[in-house]
């Protein structure tokens, strides 16, 4: 598939890997709007520093997999400048129009010689059909390519398409390695609107699989609009309603793909905390349960061992009365007022599903928060997953 | 081995497991001092509530493995009362003299019938030679029995012995399942002194492998002194110096055993953070690095991938300048001012050792904190451990 106004390509640059696509490019004929969200990690990779500064002028995105260009100091920034210059010459664009993203080993310098050799071919291969190869080229530990698309129409009838590609591997979420995401649309969108939507929807999707602000050195989401679909410039939130639903669809699907990726992840579980005293406490509770290896191995073993959920809640820092808490697996009332509700059989049935929800009602207040997590399989569970049997 | 003034025993009660020791007992002829530290988890198991209240009168310890008697409400407390009564009758002790500890499945009621049947035999088998069996009976996911002993003499020449046994499995540290520890001595110690020592030394040992206050529903350390070694009552810290060194030895060895236990844990790594702005920040940094699956798989793969340490530090919440941080592996200056120091080979040599230290100098202040962690092996590393090679 393709999005009007964009071309893409990928090549095997051999910057670090052999014989695999590892350098990808997206170029827009013209851009009407742009937005980006970037890692809050104290250690920011050079391409993150580069692209954050130039997000409002970007027209092309160059991504390499294998070398993160992070913790590379001034040399790292110089490498960004060099890449942007080299690519800019080929594309007839200025340095500030080149956005950069990298993923891979931290601390290793970019292999600029290999990149320089690869760039002419990369530009030559640009095509409206290059998007799947691009999505392939950004993978590192990912076992599956992650692409999602959606489309729709504004109220005036103007149709639009949204395309997104991501990398990131769910087994290690929320302590994930680099998460990169690139979103393209042909809609005629204003940059301020795009920024608002991207921030809000990232919070509801990617930030539910990672931990608030706890991102890697290189994480970023870049979002470009070509305007090729035509129609009037869309500026207001009400006007953009249908578009923001489509954007949510795409990012939500990509974030679920990230959670499901990784050998052995068999279940995506939404941890929904309700009735918390404060939002902060709802987040602490959801995060602690979502990250608990003991809870995650129980998900893997389809073992309705609710005590592990209680133990995780009890050390989360959230306030609650242990004998008021209710737990549900989908609609099954699993635990009532902190005590076993004798629903082992129904609970185990829910745990066989590929996706399900664990609801935790703390009955202390009105705050709520949810996170997505996956089960934890592997030899690790040889001990923990079978503990109860 | 044995400690004067104590007898121990264990039986296969079949409360939950079949054909294995799962109920253990320690009884003192007389007690001069007692101390205990208990979980801070919001969900406190019934035996924790029971023993915390009775620590100052305890003379016997009854421990069962398999059922945690946690999240069992009033029934759980009644089960404690019943166990103490039944055992008390056999031992001719009052209920308040019976301390209780449990480990196993949360939410399941204690199998009191099986326990009642087992208690007479348990009491009959009490012996100064029963300590190894006792240590065996408290295991759940543990793959190895954990016992440590030390001895010494007070300044006046009075000799003393310290014996400790623990359960807890390192693979899941710091998100560990229940950690139980029982410490016995023949020294003539005052309870207040014992409490001070136990708190201080627990902080420096078990609390360096778990996360501050983040303990399970059942965690506890019980510490009894028989005084059978004779000599004057030891009350003051200066007087107790040699004893507290021995206690540290025992608890330190037990906490290392916990970290090393668990299939596949090959390395114990001390994460020492120095130069932090505040103690809180030193703790956040040490904890984040110690818990990072990406760092732990690098330890497993003996992969000198320092970028994972930087990425974990960067999301820890500790303040620092990424280009001022120094990292050392034992004495090898691995990273200097945030940049690679080209010591891959020496660093990899250190990472082959069974125990080593990663020092992180944030160069922001004077606070420091250290934690013990282990490597993370298992299929999980098929993807992560080999990522760099």
pLDDT 10s digits, A263-272: 567 888 999 9
Q: B329 and chain A: CB distance < 8 Å anywhere?
A: no
User: Which of A41, A291, A308 minimises the CB distance to B315?
Assistant: A41
Of A225-229, B158-162, B311-315, B381-385, the range with the lowest mean pLDDT is B381-385
Shortest distance between the Cα of A85 and any Cα of chain B, in A, equals 25
Q: Which two tokens stand for residue A190?
A: 């204003």
What pLDDT is recorded for position A231? 96
Chain A residues 8-37 with a CB less than 8 Å from chain B: none
- B311 and A262 in contact by Cβ < 8 A? no
Q: For chain B, give every residue range classified as CATH 3.60.70.12.
A: 6-260
Mean pLDDT of chain A: 91
Q: For residue A173, which residues of chain B lie inside 8 Å, CB to CB?
A: none
Which residue, among A380, A385, A388, A389, would best test binding to B if mutated, counting the most B CBs under 10 Å from its CB? A380
Query: With an 8 Å Cβ cutoff, are A141 and B383 in contact?
Result: yes
Please determine, for residue B294, whether its predicted confidence score (pLDDT) is greater than 90: no
- Catalytic: which of B72, B178, B210, B215? B178
Top-confidence residue, A42 or A175: A42
pLDDT at B174 > cutoff 70: no
pLDDT at B265: 76
Surface-to-core class of residue A232, CB atoms within 10 Å of its CB (0-12 exposed, 13-18 middle, 19+ buried): exposed
Q: What is the mean pLDDT of residues B309-319?
A: 94
Give residue A381's pLDDT. Answer: 41
Query: Once rounded to an integer, what is the mean pLDDT over residues B240-250?
Result: 97
A207 in contact with chain B, both atoms CB, cutoff 8 A: no
Per-residue model confidence as pLDDT tens digits over A80-126: 999 999 999 999 999 999 999 999 989 989 999 999 999 999 999 99
pLDDT, one tens digit per residue, over A270-294 is 999 999 999 999 999 999 999 887 7
Q: If you average pLDDT over every residue of chain B, what do you get? A: 91
CA–CA separation, B239 and B231 (whole Å)? 12
Where residue B388 falls among pLDDT bands split at 50, 70, 90?
A: very low
Question: What pLDDT shows up at residue B209?
Answer: 85
Per-residue pLDDT reduced to its tens digit, B99-116:
999 999 999 899 999 999
Contact A380 B378 (CB under 8 A): yes
Find the mean pLDDT for residues A175-195. Answer: 91
Q: What b/e readout covers A320-350, taking b as 16+ CB neighbours within 10 angstroms?
A: bebeebbbbbbebebbbebbbbebeebbebb
Selected for mutation to probe chain A from B49, B66, B71, B73 (highest A CB count within 10 Å) is B71
| Digit-coded pLDDT (tens) for A339-385 | 999 999 999 999 999 999 999 999 999 999 999 988 876 544 444 44
Residue B35 Cα distances to B194, B213, B242, B355, angstroms: 6, 18, 18, 31
Kindly tell me if the per-residue pLDDT of A243 is higher than 90: yes
Cβ neighbours of A304 in B, within 8 Å: none
Is B43's CB within 8 Å of A71's CB? no
Q: CATH topology for A6-260?
A: 3.60.70
Pairing of strands B33-38, B326-329: unpaired
Question: Which ranges in A301-366 belong to alpha helices (H)?
Answer: 306-314, 344-350
CA distance A290 to A311: 13
User: How is residue A53 written in tokens?
Assistant: 């500064």
Q: Tokens representing B141?
A: 């996911």
The 10 Å Cβ neighbour count of residue A230 is 12
Give the model's confidence band at B289: pLDDT under 50 very low, under 70 low, under 90 confident, else very high. Answer: very high
**Segment 117-176 of chain B within 8 Å of chain A by CB:** 140-141, 143, 169, 171-172, 175
Q: Mind listing the pLDDT tens digit for each residue in A302-349?
A: 888 899 999 999 999 999 999 999 999 999 999 999 999 999 999 999
Q: What is the 3-state secondary structure (H, E, C) of chain B?
A: CCCCCEEEEEECCCCCCCCCCCEEEEEECCCCEEEEEECCCCCCCHHHHHHHHHHHHCCEEEEEEEECCCCCHHHHHHHHHHHHHHHHHHHCCCHHHEEEEEEEECCCCCCHHHHHHHHHHHHHCCECCCHHHHHHHCCCCCCCCEEEEEEEECCCCCEEEEEEEEECCHHHCCCCCCCEEEEEECCCECHHHHHHHHHHHHHHCHHHHCECCECCCCCEEEEEECCCCCCCCECCCCCCHHHHHHHHHHHHHHHHHHHHCCCCCCCEEEEEEEEECCHHHHHHHHHHHHHCHHHHHHHHCCCCCHHHHHHHHHCCCCCCCCCCCEEEECCEEEEECCEECCCHHHHHHHCCCCEEEEEEECCCCCEEEEEEEECCCCCHHHHHCCCCC
> Which residues of chain A does CATH 3.10.20.340 include?
268-384
The CATH code of domain A268-384 reads 3.10.20.340
Q: What's the pLDDT at B141?
A: 77
A11 contact partners, CB below 8 Å, separation of at least 6: A21, A23, A118, A121, A122, A125, A137
Q: Which helix (H) or strand (E) holds A51?
A: helix A46-54
Marked catalytic residue, from A86, A178, A210, A359: A178
Q: Do B307 and A262 touch (CB under 8 A)?
A: no
- Judge contact between A223 and A36, C-beta under 8 A: yes
| Interface membership of B67 toward A (CB under 8 Å) | no
Question: For residue B143, what pLDDT is reported?
Answer: 82
Cβ of A73 within 8 Å of Cβ of B323? The answer is yes
Predicted local confidence at residue A263, as pLDDT = 57
- Cα nearest neighbour of B140 on chain A: A387
DSSP 8-state assignment for residue A233 = P
B328-357 pLDDT per residue, tens: 999 999 999 999 999 999 999 999 999 999
- The answer to whether residue A172 scores a pLDDT higher than 80 is no
By the CB < 8 Å criterion, does B314 face chain A?
Answer: yes
Strand partners, A328: A333, A359
pLDDT at position B387 over 50: no
β-sheet bridge partners, residue B373: B269
Q: Which of B65, B104, B307 to mutate to test the interface with A (most CBs of A within 10 A)?
A: B307
| Residue A72 among the catalytic residues | no
């Amino acid at each position: 598939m393709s999005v009007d106004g964009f071309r893409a390509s990928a090549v095997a640059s051999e910057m670090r890997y052999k014989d695999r696509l590892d350098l990808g490019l997206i170029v827009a004929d013209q851009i009407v709007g742009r937005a980006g969200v970037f890692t809050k990690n104290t250690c920011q990779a050079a391409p993150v520093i580069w692209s954050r500064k130039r997000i409002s002028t970007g027209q092309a995105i160059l991504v390499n997999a294998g070398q993160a260009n992070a913790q590379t100091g001034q040399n790292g920034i110089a490498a960004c400048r060099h890449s942007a210059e080299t690519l800019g010459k080929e594309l007839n664009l200025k340095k500030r129009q080149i956005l950069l993203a990298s993923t891979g080993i931290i601390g290793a310098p970019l292999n600029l010689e290999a990149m320089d050799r690869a760039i002419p071919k990369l530009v030559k291969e640009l095509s409206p059909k290059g998007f799947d190869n691009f999505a392939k080229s950004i993978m590192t530990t990912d076992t599956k390519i992650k692409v999602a698309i959606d489309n729709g129409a504004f109220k005036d009838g103007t149709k639009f398409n949204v395309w997104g590609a991501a990398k990131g591997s769910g087994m290690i979420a929320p302590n994930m390695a680099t998460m990169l995401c690139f979103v393209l649309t042909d809609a005629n969108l204003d940059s301020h609107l795009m920024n608002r939507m991207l921030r809000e929807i990232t919070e509801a999707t990617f930030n539910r699989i990672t931990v608030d602000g706890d991102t890697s050195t290189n994480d970023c989401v870049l979002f470009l609009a070509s305007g090729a679909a035509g129609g009037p410039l869309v500026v207001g939130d009400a006007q953009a309603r249908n578009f923001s639903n489509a954007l949510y669809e795409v990012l939500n699907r990509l974030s679920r793909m990230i959670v499901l990726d990784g050998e052995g992840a068999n279940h995506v579980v939404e941890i929904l905390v309700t009735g918390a005293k404060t939002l902060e406490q709802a987040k602490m509770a959801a995060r602690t349960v979502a990250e608990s290896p003991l809870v995650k191995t129980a998900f893997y073993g389809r073992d309705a061992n609710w005590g592990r959920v209680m133990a995780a809640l009890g050390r989360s820092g959230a306030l609650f009365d242990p004998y008021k808490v209710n737990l549900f697996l989908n609609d099954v009332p699993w635990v009532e007022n902190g005590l076993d509700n004798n629903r082992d059989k129904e609970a185990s049935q829910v745990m066989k599903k590929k996706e399900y929800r664990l609801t935790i009602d703390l009955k202390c207040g009105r705050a709520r928060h949810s996170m997505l997590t996956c089960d934890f399989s592997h030899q690790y569970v040889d001990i923990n997953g079978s503990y109860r049997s």
